[in-house]
Amino acid sequence: MATFQKYPAGSYVLRIKQNTLGETATGTPFVAIQVEVVSGKNIKDPSVRYGETRTVNLWLSEKAIPYTKAFLEYAGFTGSIAQLDIDHPEHISLEGFEADGSCKLEEYQGKVYDKFGFYPPKSKFGSKMNKVNTSRMLMLDALFGVSTIQAPVKRMVSPALGKSVQVQTEPGQDFEDSEDLPF
């Protein structure tokens, strides 16, 4: 009989085996995801046996919904939340999806347990990321010894023609910063 192994704290690759919906005794709903611990990242302990299963709960509370929704979208889920329930007639399984996760050690009633969770998805960089401006991109391109970026094309309304026209800006001139009109 195999003994229950406690995983050391750290980063792991987790593969989803099964998913369903659940609810705590106090009524908080969650997505219960059974995962297989595939491998460790920077886990130095050679005695660690991979392949055991753990459960990761993705909470469906108002506070946790943004994280849960982002992770489910990252995993390719696009249906109704009810379809994650294993008993739903049109159940959507996330089986086979792999994602990075973490293990933390937590104490509960005098015993230490390993608790797994998924890292927030990296596929969405967030709305606060600034774009690299054109002149900086051209400079970086030159450092790489290539010149593939073209100066941006600016669309503006020509007062003389009364319609939208394209204007080629000079290389190194930022699209947003140009106030000069060529006519």
| Contacts made by residues 80-87, CB under 8 angstroms, sequence distance 24+ | 81/21, 81/31, 82/21, 84/19, 84/20, 84/21, 84/31, 85/20, 85/21, 86/18, 86/19, 86/20, 87/20
- CA pair distance 49, 4, nearest whole angstrom: 10
Q: Are the CB atoms for 105 and 113 separated by under 8 Å?
A: yes
CATH of 10-118, one of 3.40.50, 2.60.40, 1.10.3470, 2.40.50: 2.40.50
Q: Is 19 exposed, middle or buried (0-12, 13-18, 19+ CB in 10 A)?
A: buried
Looking at residue 183, its pLDDT comes to: 38
Looking at residue 143, its pLDDT comes to: 74
Residue type present at position 116: F
Any idea how long the chain is?
183
Looking at residue 79, its pLDDT comes to: 87
Tens of pLDDT along the chain (183 residues) come to 455 678 999 999 999 999 999 999 999 999 999 999 999 988 888 888 899 999 999 999 999 998 899 899 989 898 889 999 999 999 999 999 999 999 999 998 998 899 999 987 765 545 455 666 677 767 777 777 766 555 555 555 555 555 555 544 554 444 444 444 443
Looking at residue 1, its pLDDT comes to: 47
Domain ranges of the chain: 10-118, 134-168
Looking at residue 125, its pLDDT comes to: 47
pTM above 0.85, yes or no: no
- What is the number of other CB atoms lying within 10 angstroms of the CB of residue 176? 10
